[in-house]
Structure 1
Amino acid sequence: MQPIIQLIRVDNRLVHGQTGVTWSNSLDIDTIIVIDDETVQNIFSQKLMTSIAKAGSVHIAFYSIAGFIDAYFSASGGKKLFLVVKSIQVVRTLYEQGLRFPRINIGNIHYERGRYPLNKKMYLTQQDVEDLNYLNENGNEIFYQDVPGTLSEKIERLDFERLKARR
């Protein structure tokens, strides 16, 4: 039996108090999986995130994108996973490689040049919009929610030009 993905979250901060404790405690999970090609090389970041996961009483593991895909399809044991990634592009890559998620949670995506606000904590590029639309068209449930118990916003078809105009 392959691992069970309970939720995948996009958060450019990866594991912090909200993901490592609040989200982890609200989900029935065994392990937080951080999928990020940079973090897998950064021992300092891993130690920081590991201490946060310990506070949430869950295990944590770090993978590159390719490393996780290989590990996932060769794993057994039915562990319950909470996947955390920095970008929507990683979610699309995982989906295109055959992973399926019950839900996709979009958390914080901070402002930077070329990003436009969907809400106060989520700034999107044209590529983000295209990837979200692709994931929606393929039947994925996508929603924005800061923390469990707060208002959840379903994300459906987006128009990048309209998003830019809302500035």
Structure 2
Amino acid sequence: MPIVLARIDDRLVHGQIVQGWLRILNVDIILIVSDIVILDAMQQMLMTIAVPANIRLDIKNLKDATNAITSGQYDKDKVMILAVSPSDVLYMIENGAGFKSVNVGGMRFINGKRQLLHNLCVNDSDVESLHKIHIKSVEIEGRILPEDEKKDIASIIEKEYKAIHRR
């Protein structure tokens, strides 16, 4: 399956995805990976409306999405994967999804998180997951839009990881 983009973005489908990434990526399917969205019919409807008609939107919980990826369900499609958190991406990788690169596009500030970059706010669990993704030889790159400079954020994550383990 050609995974065109695997992205961590807690907003999932929004303007930067539709007007930025979809404009330049030739995807057949957007796969939303979320145990929460799968239970929210209203959010599903809003995402369906936001996605262009020529692109299929699949919304699956984490386990079903991972199984679909690893079983070859999307082998003939160009897929953009949108996940809410680093732990979800780590789960997919640990269970057979072969990502070479993960784009960190948006992890907003909420209570309990700290800001590392403009679009990257993390808690200790996020750092642990991103570190584990990195040590599996998966590139972790930060970019909000496709025309932005591709930034390798692994060094930022590793610095934060070491700081956590010195406490």
Band of TM-score, shorter chain = 0.7 to 0.9
Query: 1: distance between equivalents of 2:100 and 2:45?
Result: 29
Q: Deviations over 1:37-78 (max 9, x none)?
A: 1111111111111111126x4211100011112222332652
Query: 2: distance between equivalents of 1:154 and 1:134?
Result: 15
- 1:63 matched to 2:60? The reply is yes
Q: Deviations over 1:56-114 (max 9, x none)?
A: x4211100011112222332652110000110110000000010113200011111222
Matches within 5 A, 1:107-122: 107-122=105-120
Tell me, yes or no, if the aligned pair for 1:6 and 1:102 is still in contact at 8 Å.
Answer: no
Structure 1 residue corresponding to 2:87, chosen from 86, 89, 109: 89
Q: Which range moves more in the overlay, 11-20 or 83-92?
A: 11-20
Normalised by the length of structure 1, the TM-score is 0.88
Structure 2 segments unaligned to the other structure (5+ residues): none
Matches within 5 A, 1:31-42: 31-42=29-40
The root-mean-square deviation of aligned C-alpha atoms, in Å, is 1.9
Query: 2: distance between equivalents of 1:98 and 1:6?
Result: 17
Q: Which range moves more in the overlay, 72-81 or 132-141?
A: 72-81
Helix, strand or coil for the counterpart of 1:159?
Answer: helix
Paired position in structure 2 for 1:24:
22
Q: Which range moves more in the overlay, 20-29 or 63-72?
A: 20-29
Normalised by the length of structure 2, the TM-score is 0.88
Deviation >3 Å, runs of 4+: 161-164
Tell me, yes or no, if the aligned pair for 1:24 and 1:58 is still in contact at 8 Å.
Answer: no
Seen in structure 2, the aligned counterparts of structure 1 residues 115 and 162 have a Cα distance that, compared at 3 Å, is farther
Q: Compute the displacement of 1:131 (Å).
A: 1.3
Paired position in structure 2 for 1:79:
77
Query: 2: distance between equivalents of 1:9 and 1:48?
Result: 20
Paired position in structure 1 for 2:41:
43
Query: 2: distance between equivalents of 1:88 and 1:5?
Result: 17
Q: How high is the sequence identity, in percent, across the aligned residues?
A: 25
Paired position in structure 2 for 1:152:
150
Q: Which range moves more in the overlay, 129-138 or 20-29?
A: 20-29
Tell me, yes or no, if the aligned pair for 2:127 and 2:161 is still in contact at 8 Å.
Answer: no
Query: 2: distance between equivalents of 1:65 and 1:21?
Result: 26
Provide the aligned length of Structure 1 versus Structure 2. Answer: 161
Q: Which range moves more in the overlay, 20-29 or 101-110?
A: 20-29
Query: 1: distance between equivalents of 2:161 and 2:138?
Result: 23
